[in-house]
Amino acid sequence: MKREIEIKVNGITQDLVVDPWWSLARALREGLGLTGTKISCESGDCGACTVLIDGKAVKSCLYPVMKAKNKDIITIEGLHDEQGQLHPLQEAFIQYFAVQCGYCTPGMIMVAKALLDENPKPTEEQVKEYLTGNLCRCTGYTKIIEAVLAVANKTQESS
């Protein structure tokens, strides 16, 4: 019982054939080949599948694909700018060694983007609180937090 839906991901609207019970994460990975969105726990506990839906960080493993119609979805693949330049968060994750195995990284960057869009000048404690729903088993979070704060501080300097 396949269904065809129209879905807008990373600024591109396209038709997609899905099973109606699919999660958005599965549709992104299996339907659109956007495998930067990772699946890990499928229960909303780890955040590896975090994407932005209408600007808000959402765990796409729990989000029904049929609900994604008429929504503006951004995945890790859509984070660079029009010239293909990396987002400052992507740059900072590289520079601050915030990446180890990398499986949590896309979700972590997406949730950090949601945070900085909402609160461009978070404190260290606010960053930690905001990232609580995204698990990382490699880094101990230290370098991830550093990377996010570095971007926030840079934005403050330039503004």
Partner 1 sequence: MPELTFVGKSIIKIDALGKVTGKTKYASEEGLGVPGMLYGKVLSSPHAHAKILNIDTSKASRVKGVRAILTGKDAPEHRSGILIDDRHVLCHERARFIGDTVAAVAAGSIEAAEEAVELIKVEYEVLPAIFDPEEAMKPDCPVILHPDLQNYNRPAYGYLGFDLPGPNAHTHHKVRKGNVEKGFQEADVIIENRFQNDRIIHCQLEPFNSVCYPESDGSLTLWTSARLMISLNNLVRDFNIPRSKLRVRTSYLGGMYGLKGRTERFAILMALKTGRPVKMVYTREECFIDGYNRLPKIIYIKDGVKRDGTIVAREIKVIVNSGGYTDYAPLTIRNGAFHASQYRLPNYKWDAYGVYTNEPSCGPLRGFGNAEVLWATEQQMDIAAEKLGIDPCEFRLRNTVDEGEIDVRGQRVHCIGAKECLNKVAKCIEWGKPSIQSSKKHIKVGKGIALGNKYSLGDTASSAMVKVNLDGSIEVYHGGDDCGQGLNTVMAQIAAEEFQVPMDKIKIIFGDSARVPYDYGTASSRSTLYIGNAVLLACKRAKRMTFELAAKKLNTAPENIDIRGGKLFVISDPQKTLDLSELALGKSPEATGLVKWATCLEEGAGIFGSASFWGRTDPEDPETGQGERLSMSVAYGAQAAEVAVDIETGLVKILRMCSVFDNGKSMNPKMCEAQIEGGAALGIGSALYEGFIFNDKGKLLNPNLHDYKICSAINVPSGDNMKTGMVEYPHREGPYGAKGVGEAAMTPTAPAIANAIYNATGARVFHMPMTPERILQAIRQSKNSHAPTRK
Least Å from the CB of residue 154 to partner 1:
16
CA distance 91 to 72: 24
Strand 50-53 and strand 3-9: the pairing is unpaired
Rg (CA), the chain: 16
CA distance 53 to 71: 6
Q: Which stretch binds partner 1 (CB under 8 A): 1-9, 63-71, 113-121, 130-138?
A: 130-138
Torsion angles phi and psi, residue 126, rounded to 5 = -65, -40
Is 112 a binding residue for partner 1 by CB under 8 A? The answer is: no
Q: Which stretch binds partner 1 (CB under 8 A): 1-9, 40-48, 52-60, 66-74?
A: 40-48
Is 101 a binding residue for partner 1 by CB under 8 A? The answer is: yes
Least Å from the CB of residue 136 to partner 1:
7
Is 62 a binding residue for partner 1 by CB under 8 A? The answer is: no
Is 141 a binding residue for partner 1 by CB under 8 A? The answer is: yes
| Contacting residue, 25, 73, 144, 151, with partner 1 by CB under 8 A | 144
Closest by CA to 93, choosing from 133, 49, 131, is: 131
How many residues does this entry show for the chain? 159
Tokens 């945070």 correspond to what residue? 115
Interface residues with partner 1 (CB under 8 A) are 29-31, 33-43, 45-46, 48, 75-77, 79-80, 86, 90, 93-95, 97, 99-106, 109, 124, 127-129, 131-146
